[in-house]
Amino acid sequence: MLAILKREVKSLFWNVTGWLFIGITLALYGLYFFVYNLSYGYPYISYSLSAISFIFLITVPVLTMRVLAEEKHSKTDQLLLTAPVSVGKIVFGKFLALAFVYTICVAVICVSPLVLMAYGEVPLLETYTGIFGFWLYGMTCIAIGLFVSSMTESQVISAVITFVLLFAGYMMSSICSVLSSTGNFLTKILGYYDLYSPLDEFLNGTFSVTGIVYYVSVIALVLFLACQAIQKRRWDVSRKMLSTSVFSTGMIVIAVAAAVGLNFLAAALPTNYTQLDATSKKIYSITEDTIDYLATLQDDITLYVLVDEDSKDENVDRTLSKYEAKSKHITVTYVDPAVSPEFASQYTDEDVADNSIIVVCGDRSKVINYNTDIYEYSYDSSYNYTATGYDCEGQVTAALQYVTSEETSKVYELSGHDEMNLSGDFSEVLEKRFITVDSLNLLTVDAVPEDCDALFITAPQSDLSVDDLEKLSFYVNNGGSLYLSLDYSTFGELENFNKLLNMYDIDATESLLVETDRSYYYQSPFYLLPYVESTQVSANVAGNTSVFLPYAMGLTYTGEDDSLVTSFLTTSENAIAKASANLATVGSGGSQADIYTLQDGDEQGQYSLGMLVGNEQGGTICVVGSAYMFTDNANQMVSGRNATLFLGIVNQLLPSEDDDTSVVIASKDYSVSYLTVSQNTILVYGILWGIFMPLIMIVIGIVVWAKRRKR
pLDDT digits (tens, 9 = 90+) for 105-115: 999 999 999 98
CB distance 528 to 571 below 8 Å: yes
Per-residue pLDDT, 176: 83
- Nearest to residue 603, comparing CAs of 498, 497, 512, 501? 512
Per-residue pLDDT, 582: 66
Q: How far is CA 682 from CA 51, 475, 676, 677, 688, in A?
A: 19, 62, 10, 7, 10
Q: How many helices (H) and strands (E) does the chain have?
A: 25, 24
Per-residue pLDDT, 594: 65
Average pLDDT over residues 315-337: 91
Label residue 245 by pLDDT band (50, 70, 90): very low
CB distance 308 to 182 below 8 Å: yes
Per-residue pLDDT, 348: 87
**DSSP assignment of 166-218:** HHHHHHHHHHHHHH-SS--HHHHHHHTT--HHHHHHHHTTEEEHHHHHHHHHH
**Distance between CA 582 and CA 599 in Å, rounded?**
7
**Distance between CA 470 and CA 455 in Å, rounded?**
15
Q: Which are the contacts of 288, defined by CB distance < 8 A and separation ≥ 6?
A: none
Average pLDDT over residues 153-157: 85
Per-residue pLDDT, 50: 92
Residue 144 has pLDDT above 90, yes or no: yes
**Distance between CA 625 and CA 445 in Å, rounded?**
28
**Residue 28 vs residue 425, higher pLDDT:** 28
Label residue 709 by pLDDT band (50, 70, 90): low
Residue 16 has pLDDT above 50, yes or no: yes
Residue 514 has pLDDT above 70, yes or no: yes
Per-residue pLDDT, 621: 94
**DSSP assignment of 106-145:** HHHHHHHHHHHGGGS---HHHHHHHHHHHHHHHHHHHHHH
Label residue 655 by pLDDT band (50, 70, 90): low
Label residue 696 exposed, middle or buried (CB < 10 Å: 0-12, 13-18, 19+): middle
Which domains are assigned to the chain? 2-280+678-710 (no CATH), 288-390 (3.40.30.10), 405-669 (3.40.50.880)
Residue 124 has pLDDT above 80, yes or no: yes
Q: Running DSSP on this structure, what letter comes out for residue 391?
A: -
Label residue 243 by pLDDT band (50, 70, 90): very low
| pLDDT tens per residue, range 528-550 | 989 999 888 888 888 876 789 99
**DSSP assignment of 18-62:** HHHHHHHHHHHHHHHIIIIIIIS----THHHHHHHGGGHHHHHHH
Average pLDDT over residues 655-664: 60
Per-residue pLDDT, 189: 83
Q: What percent of the chain has pLDDT over 90?
A: 33
Per-residue pLDDT, 87: 75
Per-residue pLDDT, 711: 58
Q: Where are the beta strands (DSSP E) in 562-702?
A: 565-570, 575-577, 603-605, 608-614, 620-624, 668-669
Q: Please tell me whether the overall predicted TM-score, pTM, comes out greater than 0.95 for this model.
A: no
**Residue 583 vs residue 354, higher pLDDT:** 354
- For strands 275-277 and 603-605, give the pairing: unpaired
**Distance between CA 247 and CA 458 in Å, rounded?**
81
Average pLDDT over residues 354-383: 83
Q: Running DSSP on this structure, what letter comes out for residue 345?
A: G
| Radius of gyration (C-alpha) of the chain in whole angstroms | 34
Q: How far is CA 597 from CA 201, 221, 576, in A?
A: 55, 75, 8
| pLDDT tens per residue, range 169-227 | 999 888 887 877 666 778 778 888 899 999 999 998 889 999 999 999 999 999 999 88
Mean of the per-residue pLDDT values of the chain: 84
Average pLDDT over residues 398-414: 86
- Nearest to residue 113, comparing CAs of 59, 55, 47, 53? 47
**Mapping DSSP to helix (H, G, I), strand (E, B) and coil, where does residue 571 land?**
coil
Residue 12 has pLDDT above 70, yes or no: yes
Please list, residue by residue across 470-494, b when 16 or more beta carbons sit within 10 angstroms of its beta carbon and e when fewer do.
ebbbebbeeebbbbbbbbbebbeeb
| pLDDT tens per residue, range 570-598 | 999 999 888 876 666 644 444 556 677 88
**DSSP assignment of 258-320:** HHHHHHHHHHHS-HHHHEEE--TT-TTS--HHHHHHHTT--S-EEEEEES-GGG--HHHHHHH
Q: What is the dihedral of CA 635, 638, 639, 643, to 10 degrees?
A: -40
Per-residue pLDDT, 659: 47
Q: Which are the contacts of 366, defined by CB distance < 8 A and separation ≥ 6?
A: 358, 359, 399, 402, 403
CA 368 vs. chain centroid, Å, equals 20
**Segments in 568-627 forming alpha helices (H):** 580-584
| pLDDT tens per residue, range 454-484 | 999 999 999 999 999 999 999 999 999 999 9
**Distance between CA 341 and CA 318 in Å, rounded?**
25
**Distance between CA 126 and CA 199 in Å, rounded?**
13
